[in-house]
Amino acid sequence: MSLATMDGAISEEQRSPSAQVSIRNVTKVFPGKKGFFNKLTGKASSNFTAIEEISMEIEPNTFVTIIGPSGCGKSTLLNMIAGLMPITGGDILLNGEPITGPGPDRGMVFQNYALMPWMTVAENIRFAVETVDPKISAKRRDRIIKEHIQLVGLTGAEKKHPHELSGGMRQRVGIARALAINPQILLMDEPFGALDALTRGFLQDEIERIWEQQRKTVIMITHSIEEALLLSDRIVMMTRGPAARVDEILEIPFPRPRNRETIEQYPAYSGLKAEMERHLFRETRAVEEARIGGKK
Ligand SMILES: Nc1ncnc2c1ncn2[C@@H]1O[C@H](COP(=O)(O)OP(=O)(O)OP(=O)(O)O)[C@@H](O)[C@H]1O
Ligand SMILES: [Mg+2]
């Protein structure tokens, strides 16, 4: 990934020819609803620019996390990379080709699991595999399902339905399902956000282990500074919205495999952590000030 600056622009020479994902001056505007009036102001609801002119280049096999204040546009950006939401301005290229919709090259792990409630663990994974490859042989399909259930530590729970699983187990199914289609890129929207600290820690270690094995490109959203520092090669810090931008991209130099107990001992750790805390504090405070100011 090249450096992105406050204005979000990346010059031609900074663009990496080896980039797998190129995000170029991407803007997202949500249209105001025609005929809708704000009850307080009486004004017609206007367009809302969520993110503006965001650029970054992501090389293959890198683990990138996106961090920023709540509501700044992280999910919006990830959904556009997933092809689930149209882009208003700019381009997102995947291996040089513009993204026009979702595809089997990208696996998505949703924050709210998004499993089919009437399907078992194995059936949820099977559904994804067959959707991507309808002609797959039953033997190969079943091997992929078994391998991925094993990979996320759910062997024995194959026949359970989502309502019979804990939150952490559901999230594991989500991860297994996303990986089972063998995507080039794994997209994860706060995958551990709803979990208790212990389960979250286990799953972080699991993701670290899976990533060591498979070395996929990962783009993950998180609110946790420690999680970002443990897992990432690069951390993208977004500014507050509206018209959110990339403030800075941090390079995380710690060797792998990483370990939550030892990572804090690297001299650079506390400096990076403090920088992220300052960024999040500044941006969140500005959001709060705007909110309180807006109420007066
Ligand atoms: N479909 C939509 N229509 C209108 N506005 C939207 C829509 N989706 C998101 N927004 C607005 O765009 C902004 C960014 O939303 P988004 O969900 O991307 O934020 P986020 O950074 O993921 O926040 P969080 O950390 O709370 O998940 C917010 O102000 C939100 O209200
Ligand atoms: Mg979000």
The token duo for 6 is 């406050």
Q: What pLDDT, in 10s, does the model give residues 17-45?
A: 689 999 999 999 998 776 555 555 666 66
Give the number of the ligand closest to the Cα of residue 71.
1
| Predicted confidence pLDDT, tens digits, the chain (296 residues) | 444 444 445 555 455 668 999 999 999 999 877 655 555 566 666 889 999 999 999 999 999 999 999 999 999 999 999 999 999 999 999 999 999 999 999 999 988 888 999 999 999 999 999 999 999 999 999 999 999 999 888 999 999 999 999 988 999 999 999 999 999 999 999 998 878 888 888 889 888 888 888 889 999 999 999 999 999 999 999 999 999 999 999 999 999 989 888 999 999 999 999 999 999 999 999 988 888 876 55
- From atom 20 of ligand 1, which residue's Cα is the shortest distance away? 71
Task: Please report, for residues 10, 130, 277, the alpha-carbon distance to residue 196 in angstroms, rounded to integers and kept in the order given.
Answer: 39, 33, 22
Distance CA 38, CA 43 (A): 6
Asked whether 47 and 29 are in contact (CB, 8 A), the reply is yes
- From atom 30 of ligand 1, which residue's Cα is the shortest distance away? 71
Pocket of ligand 1 (CB under 6 A): 30, 48, 50, 68, 70-76, 241
Handedness of CA 226, 276, 258, 182 (dihedral sign): positive
- From atom 6 of ligand 1, which residue's Cα is the shortest distance away? 30
- The pTM score is 0.89
Please tell me what DSSP assigns to residue 189: E
